[in-house]
Amino acid sequence: MVQKNHGPCSVQNCNNQVTRFRQFTSLAYEKAQKKGTYEAHTYLRIGQQLCHSHYMSIVEPYHTQKSEVPFFLEPDKENSNQSKSYSFAEQVTMLTKVLYEQRGNLELNPTYFKQMIEKADPHLQGLFDKLVKALVPDNRSAYNKVKARKTIMSLCYIMAGMRNKFVNDFKLEVGLHLSASGANTCCN
Ligand SMILES: [Zn+2]
């Protein structure tokens, strides 16, 4: 026979205004012991009644940390994490979108280019520097580093062009600009 749970809550000084009660079963007791929450309520005995919120905080503590929000409504941890670092592929996708949106004004100064993409999409912060770090050896001369940054900027346009035919339209234009400005170090 299923006994109906109607309280009162056995936790000392409980004044939760709830209408749902649950029984402190032997399984619940085991869980509370495992989770260390029983230590604070050692007066509880199996078979006693707990209000829903006390039951959750004592027996299912990991489900209640976000108060009464149902488990399935909790924000996705990955999406809510502001400092999530994006994969390279994800960043290239964002870069493509930004360069597509900026296709009317081609930026050919690497410093402004970096600022432009990071301003357009803050998730792109660090991408340009990462590419520089990965592709330009530290022992290059300062002059060569400047040239290399230009090449990396054109690489950004080319990567975006590979993902998006619209961006691709001005790939040639970029190449021409870069060789005119002496940045073409790879393809002569
Ligand atoms: Zn209670």
Q: What is the CA radius of gyration of the chain?
A: 30
- Please tell me whether residues 156 and 117 are part of one structural domain: yes
In a domain, 133, yes or no: yes
Residue 102 confidence (pLDDT): 83
Q: Which pLDDT belongs to residue 83?
A: 45
Give the distance (Å) from ligand 1 centre to CA of residue 54.
Answer: 5
CA 75 to centroid of ligand 1, rounded, Å: 26
- 56 CA from centroid of ligand 1 (Å): 10
What pLDDT score does 41 carry?
93
- Domain co-membership, 46 together with 92: no
Please report whether residue 5 resides in a domain: yes
Kindly state whether residues 63 and 95 are assigned to the same domain.
no
79 domain residue, yes or no? no
- Mean pLDDT in consecutive groups of 10 residues from the start of the chain, 188 residues: 77 88 94 92 94 92 55 46 69 89 81 94 91 87 86 86 64 59 50
Give the distance (Å) from ligand 1 centre to CA of residue 68: 14
**The model's pTM:** 0.47
Q: Is residue 76 part of a domain?
A: no
183 vs 188: CA distance, rounded Å: 11
Phi-psi region of 53 (alpha: psi -120 to 50; beta: other; left: phi over 0): alpha
Residue 116 buriedness (CB in 10 A; 0-12 / 13-18 / 19+): middle
Q: Is residue 187 part of a domain?
A: no
- CA 47 / ligand 1 centre spacing (Å): 15
How far away, in angstroms, is 33 Cα from ligand 1 center?
18
Q: What letter represents residue 72's amino acid?
A: F
On whether residue 61 sits in a domain, the answer given is: yes
Decide which of 36, 67, 98 is a domain's last residue: 67
Which pLDDT belongs to residue 76?
46
Residues 23 and 97 in one domain: no
| Domain identity same for 46 and 116 | no
Task: Decide if 36 contacts 59 (C-beta within 8 A).
Answer: no
User: Are 30 and 96 members of one domain?
Assistant: no
Q: Could you give the dihedral angle defined by the CA atoms of residues 102, 105, 109 and 110, in that order, rounded to the nearest 10 degrees?
A: 10
Residues 6+ apart with CB under 8 A from 125: 118
How many angstroms separate the alpha carbon of residue 69 from the centre of ligand 1? Answer: 18
In this structure, is residue 56 part of a structural domain? Answer: yes
d(C-alpha 110, C-alpha 108), whole Å: 6
Q: If you write DSSP's letter for every residue of 155-172 in order, what string do you get? A: HHHHHHHHH-HHHHTTHH
CB half-sphere exposure, 130, CA atoms < 13 A: 12
Report the domain count for the chain. Answer: 2
> What single DSSP character describes residue 85?
P
Are 116 and 169 found together in one domain?
Answer: yes
Which own/partner contact pairs does 127-136 have at CB distance under 8 Å and 24+ positions apart? 127/91, 127/95, 128/152, 128/153, 128/156, 131/155, 131/156
| Full residue range of the structural domain in which residue 163 is found | 88-180
> From ligand 1's centre to the CA of 64, what distance in Å?
14
Domain membership flag for residue 13? yes
